Amino acid sequence: MTAGSPSWSFTPEDFSAMTASLKRFLSETNSICALLVDRSGQLVTTVGDSAGIDTTTFATLTAADYSANDQLAKLVGEKDFASLFHQGEKSIYVADVARRWILVVIFDSRTTVGLVRLRMKAELDELTLLVDRVFSRGRNGAAPAERLLAGADDEIDKLFNN
């Protein structure tokens, strides 16, 4: 049993790689924006035009939505629902990335769900490689997350003494 959920981190290089990949995907599918969210509901990154969207809240609700649907899948005997689709004037396509992250794509009538779905497979493969890179680093015990606050006890105390 672990002490709690493992912390993880990603570097500016990881960040550049995922944004480049997502930008290409947006351009290929003519979608409005894409959000990458971790399973706990924290926003990893957003690419495209997210103006007018409260991305923090969006990320939280997406993770909750996805988790709830995951459980619904199990109740009907499915392992999981690999993707979700919410249809409207603006539509949302949600897909699992290696059971670590969730990719959310927002699009409108300038494209089609078929095209988004078609290009999604290759995008998910690319992101899965990135997820593996980020999390394998953590498993080796060399995660920068472990070092960032090392020896910062005094600074932490000070932060909460105000």
Partner 1 sequence: MINYASREINCKIVYYGPGLGGKTTNLEHIYGKVKPETRGKLISLATETERTLFFDFLPVDLGTIRGFKTRFHLYTVPGQVYYNASRKLILKNVDGIVFVGDSQGGRMEANLESMQNLYDNMSEYGYDLTKMPFVIQYNKRDLPNAAPVSELQESLNPGWEVEDATKFHVAPDPYHAGENLVEQLPGGEWVERAPYFEAVAIKGDGVFDTLKAVSKLVLKALA
Query: What residues line the site for partner 1 (CB under 8 A)?
Result: 1-5, 7-12, 15-16, 38-42, 44-45, 54, 56-57, 60-61, 64, 67-68, 71, 144-146, 148-153, 155-157, 159-160, 162
Q: Closest CB to partner 1 among 23 and 144?
A: 144
Q: Closest CB to partner 1 among 11 and 112?
A: 11
Q: Closest CB to partner 1 among 28 and 55?
A: 55
Cα–Cα distance, 73 to 61 (Å, whole number): 18
Q: Exposed, middle or buried by CB within 10 Å (0-12, 13-18, 19+), for 114?
A: exposed
Q: How far is the CB of 115 from partner 1 (least distance, A)?
A: 29
Q: How far is the CB of 77 from partner 1 (least distance, A)?
A: 16
Q: How far is the CB of 109 from partner 1 (least distance, A)?
A: 28
End-to-end CA distance of the chain: 36
Q: Closest CB to partner 1 among 142 and 149?
A: 149
For residue 121 the two structure tokens come to: 């497979």
Host H or E run for residue 94: strand 91-97
59 to 44, 139, 160: CA distances (angstroms): 9, 25, 28
Q: How far is the CB of 30 from partner 1 (least distance, A)?
A: 26
Cα–Cα distance, 55 to 59 (Å, whole number): 6
